[in-house]
Amino acid sequence: MAIAVPAPGAAPVRSFPRWLPFEWIVAVRFLREGRMQTLFILTGVAVGVGVIIFMSALLSGLQANFVRRVLTGQPHIQLVPPKEVARPLRQGSGPHAGSGGAIVGSIVQAPMQRLKGIDQWQSVAEVVRSLPEVVDVSAGLTGSALAVRGDASRAISLVGMEPQQYYRIVTLPEKIVAGTAQIASTDILIGTELASDLGVVVGDKLRITSATGGDIVLTIAGIFDLGNKGANLRNAYVALRTAQSLLGLPGGVTILDVTVRDVYTAEDVAQRISARTGVEADSWIHTNEQFFTAVKAQTTANTAIRFFVALSVALGIASVLVVSVVQKSREIGILRAMGISRGQILRVFLLQGGLLAIGGAVVGCLVGAASLVIWQQVARNPDGTPLFPLVLDPKMFAAALVLAGLTGLAAAYAPALRAARLDPGVAIRG
């Protein structure tokens, strides 16, 4: 059996499956009769969705690459002892006493910050580990020292850490260009710039002298490249116990490095940690404020691009359906005279908008995915590796289809409402 839709003067009626609802039959019939319009709007929707897919994946990959590079050599959150502050002397009364008992006109000089550890750091670390957002916690000790090799010397920032814990937070083994990242109590890791300035290689000895008077001779176990000239000249890594002995802080640590599951929630987690423990917590978002502002600007630009592309798609669908309402006014009048309700006419044109949007979106997703594959093959680093990895996230394609469908329905609503409100007699008379 087949269901036919009468339309005076139209081409021979095509047959449709019996189970297909009436609104679907009419909507598909109208789209088939306006093949050129349908083809053009499908192409426009496909191009728009393809642009959205391509730009979203490209900017997401670019942001992820930037964030990964920034966080390669630093934790997401770092806990440090509170800074020492100087307070003016106070007195309860007297001619020079001001409000609250503070001495009027007193000059307070900021104190020099001494090397001090985090009080009860083991307890603080346990509290931090108990948070569901936290992945890893590593204790460390930092301080200034002097690296001496013969007559040459360089000021360095010494970092004492437990390799098994620290390497889960900072992937230092991936940065090693010579030697190994595994260190014992008599080993040290230095950067390429420091090794070049001091004229040393793996296996050579360095004398490390701290500001507290500590002095030790260490063997260079590995040389790393963090991708930053200043960091390669300044940073050096030793075992935690070695740093504690050299810097005069046995059993103590000055930093707790933390990684979280979602890097963009680091600032919120840092504030919660600070409120629970009373220890100052700095997130990578706070310490790289300008970079994070640039990332947010990129996100805003991506959202603006998607909005305007979706708007252009919506206007295209709406314009085609407005023309279709004008062209099909007599058919709409005949259908209304035959007893078809306004709701059914409304659904006919809403279905047209939805079918145009979904059909174009499916093609656009395929075009966007193909463009991403081609771009990743073309855009290469000098060594032949991809410029940065792109991930074809199924959620992104699903979101594009949903967005396109909703946009098509929204764009079709006004033309559909106009068609539903047509007076049958006026529409038939033309």
| Residue from 206, 211, 217, 205 nearest 242 by CA | 217
Distance between CA atoms of 231 and 221, rounded to whole angstroms? 18
Q: Are 1 and 18 in contact (CB under 8 A)?
A: yes
Please give the pLDDT value at position 8: 47
List the pLDDT tens digit at each of the 430 positions of the chain: 334 444 444 444 445 566 667 778 888 887 888 788 888 888 888 888 888 888 888 888 877 777 777 776 788 898 888 766 556 555 555 555 555 555 555 565 555 555 678 888 899 999 999 999 999 999 999 888 999 998 888 999 999 999 988 988 888 898 899 999 989 989 999 999 999 999 999 999 999 998 777 889 999 999 999 878 888 999 999 999 999 988 888 888 989 999 999 888 888 999 999 888 888 888 888 887 777 787 778 778 878 887 888 888 788 878 877 777 777 777 777 777 777 788 888 888 888 888 888 888 899 899 988 888 888 888 777 766 677 777 778 888 888 888 888 888 888 888 888 777 777 776 666 5
DSSP per-residue string spanning 403-425: HHHHHHHHHHHHHHHHHHT--HH
| Residue from 273, 353, 297 nearest 79 by CA | 273
Please give the pLDDT value at position 240: 92
Conformational region of residue 121, where left means phi above 0, alpha means psi within -120 to 50, and beta covers everything else: alpha
Distance between CA atoms of 153 and 242, rounded to whole angstroms? 20
Please give the pLDDT value at position 191: 93
For the chain, the structural domain boundaries read 22-68+293-429, 115-282
